[in-house]
Amino acid sequence: MSNFPDFSSHGYQVIRELARNREAGRITYLAINLNLDQKVTIKEFRFASEGTSWSGFKAYQREIELLQQLDHPRIPRYFNSFETPLGFCLVQEYKNAPSLAERRSFTPEEIRTIAISVLEILVYLQKRTPPVIHRDIKPENILVDEQLNAYLVDFGLARIGGEQMALSSVAAGTPGFMPPEEQFGRPLSEASDLYSLGATLMCLVTGTRSVNIGTLINDEYRFNVEPLVPQLSSLFVVWLAKMVEPNVKKRFANAEQALFVLINSNKWETSKQQKGVALKVLLLLLYGLIWVSVPGLTVHLMQSFVEYSMNELTSNQINNTRRNYHQTYRAPQTNYRNRDVKWNATDWFNRGEYLFRRRYYSQALSAYNAAININPNYYNALVSRCATFNQILKYEKALVDCNKAIEISPNSRNTRVWVIRGHVFAGMGQYEESIASYDRAIAINPNNSHAWGGRCNTLNFLRKYEQALPNCEKALQIRPQLHSAWHNKGVALEGLGRNEEALNSYDQALRFQPHYSRSIVNHQRLRQKLGITSTDNFNLDKPANNNNFDSCLTRIPPPLPANSNKNYTRIPNTPRLLCPLNNTVFHHYPRETTLAWEDVLGAKSYTVEIDFYMPDLGWCSEQDKCKYAIVRNITTNRYTFNFVGGQPGRWRVWAVNSEGKESLKTNWWEFRYTK
């Protein structure tokens, strides 16, 4: 029996607890939106618990008003809020990224990338009218994924201009990260958040935990940056010192200025077109090294450096620099990294496809917009933008794009637009129109499994389970590995009262997609309904062991036909990792390990990268002279090896086609042994 609160009446089911703040009466959960099959974060504020009161309820309502105004891809979106017997719940977008408070090591260049990513968010907040000041930037409130994209969370202390917002923490800010002007009750400015970000970066650079940040501050209440000189570039050290300058007037004025200087720091050192800048920077760096003993001198030099750089570069050069930065650090393929290439509509479309596959829907939308701005009749871009709008639940806009694509090419044999249009109508509750769109796709291609599966799903919404069931079976006849069709078949069977068969269908869905949240929820609920109490092998939160790992291997989908990849020249899809599940714990010795992944279209072979952790140095792959395994030319979707190395280990895979083109690499999945 779960000890988690029951939010099913509000359309949510809790998966696990993410964090707990006892003093503030706040618990954060990972949950599932039962209606949309979407993971969300639920913050429960327990005003009725001991030591808390309802006095802050109106303040939380004002915080919601702020979140509703924010629209940035790296600020979790506000979805919903509701009251509970104990207090109040806030529902936001879930970002699958750990906080910087977790023990992770980053290279100096990675820290610089994280800093840029956070500054981009702050620029957005400070460009608003009036500007938004976060007031509680610290490692715990910055999430960073494996691509080093940063996400800013917890706006409970935010201020809009001079107006104070909600207090969802115990005190206003966190000691050590609060700028001096806030500690002494002085007016805050756009530079205030920069101090907190600088303090956070100091923790990353030195590997210091938040609770020990006081060890980085000297007797003069300044951060001691002198030990950083050997491991970081001199300019970055000086930049960081300006971020944590106690005197607000000597800090960067705002995030845009700090971002601009940081982005261009490397460029200015080596620019052939700005030799005068390079010379002056070199001199500044020299004096910057002297600053270690003379802080006042560096403050003056850094101010001169910022003033010179901001005055010397024209607005056109600034815009070019920003464009080049995004092409260099955010482009999906290496051929986009050429700074002299001007992107055309196809380039933007390809970037959108890359981002869509990675589920970065807001960024994908921007890329598709750019493609359509260049070519308003770009059929594929309109279809993909329709799919993106559908994913973010903007159905009306999605329908406009799908209809325009159909208008541009009414006789197209491309069934994708009709399938997506069917999904859109289903999301809008217009089920008859949804079925008509699926029927059009089936008329063009009777073997479109997604159209049959979508038709089944829509009939389930109408509770026409007897009609839905043959549609799901047709989809599975065409594509036996389609997990969504197995799930929808389970829904239809459950609606007909055939619970044991429904449970088997959910089980089949999880065989092909172990992390399919809709099936996990239905599978667990139906097991409880049937009184089945045995351990569920598909529990997302429980680390796998040897037994369920063996059963996992028996459920690997069969490989694709041998001729399916013949003459396939496009970049192959990214494989999906299957076994062992992330954070698997093995109990056997010797450490023979089998890795398995889904066979993907276009893959002639696969490359597996196996890494191990060294307690004193970190991950082997991140060290210069450490040998770790990269195994190439694997022609099956399995690889067995004897693991030798420090604990834990991790692995990832990518596909290679017949021309040597590589897919994107999967995320790392970790495993460990008890023997």
pLDDT at 478: 87
In which residue ranges of the chain is pLDDT below 50? 52-55, 162-171, 269-304, 306-308, 310-340, 534-549, 564, 566
pLDDT at 170: 34
Contact 662, 654 (CB under 8 A): yes
pLDDT at 394: 87
DSSP code of 643? -
Tokens for 79, please give them. 């979805």
Q: Where are the beta strands (DSSP E) in 145-250?
A: 150-152, 159-160, 163-164
pLDDT at 570: 58
Contact 207, 200 (CB under 8 A): no
pLDDT at 616: 63
Contact 475, 452 (CB under 8 A): yes
Report which secondary-structure segment, H or E, holds 494. Answer: helix 483-495
pLDDT at 230: 63
pLDDT at 562: 54
How do 605-614 and 163-164 pair as beta strands? Answer: unpaired
What per-residue string of b and e applies to 105-137 under the rule 16 or more CB within 10 Å gives b?
Answer: ebeeeebbbbbbbbbbbbbbbbeeeebbbbbbb
pLDDT at 125: 92
Angle (CA) 612-613-618 rounded to 5° is: 135
How many C-beta atoms lie closer than 10 Å to residue 523's C-beta? 23
DSSP code of 599? -
Contact 18, 143 (CB under 8 A): no
pLDDT at 294: 37
Rg (CA), the chain: 27
pLDDT at 577: 81
CA-nearest of 184, 176, 90, 189 to 140 is: 176
pLDDT at 517: 66
SS3 412: coil
Report which secondary-structure segment, H or E, holds 438. Answer: helix 431-444
Tokens for 203, please give them. 């923790």
- Write the CB contacts of 340 (distance below 8 Å, at least 6 apart in sequence): none
Return phi, psi of residue 208, to 5°: -95, 135
DSSP letters spanning 158-184: -EETTEE----SSSSS-TTTS-HHHHT
Contact 134, 74 (CB under 8 A): no
Report which secondary-structure segment, H or E, holds 605. Answer: strand 605-614
Contact 650, 669 (CB under 8 A): yes
Tokens for 21, please give them. 């703040």
Place of tokens 């429904």: 502
How do 669-673 and 584-586 pair as beta strands? Answer: parallel
Q: Mind listing the domains of the chain with CATH numbers?
A: 8-93 (3.30.200.20), 108-162+173-265 (1.10.510.10), 350-530 (1.25.40.10), 606-671 (no CATH)
How many C-beta atoms lie closer than 10 Å to residue 200's C-beta? 28
Tokens for 572, please give them. 């192959």
DSSP code of 128? S
SS3 343: coil
Return phi, psi of residue 657, to 5°: -90, -175
Cα separation, 207 vs 148, in Å, equals 17
pLDDT at 440: 93
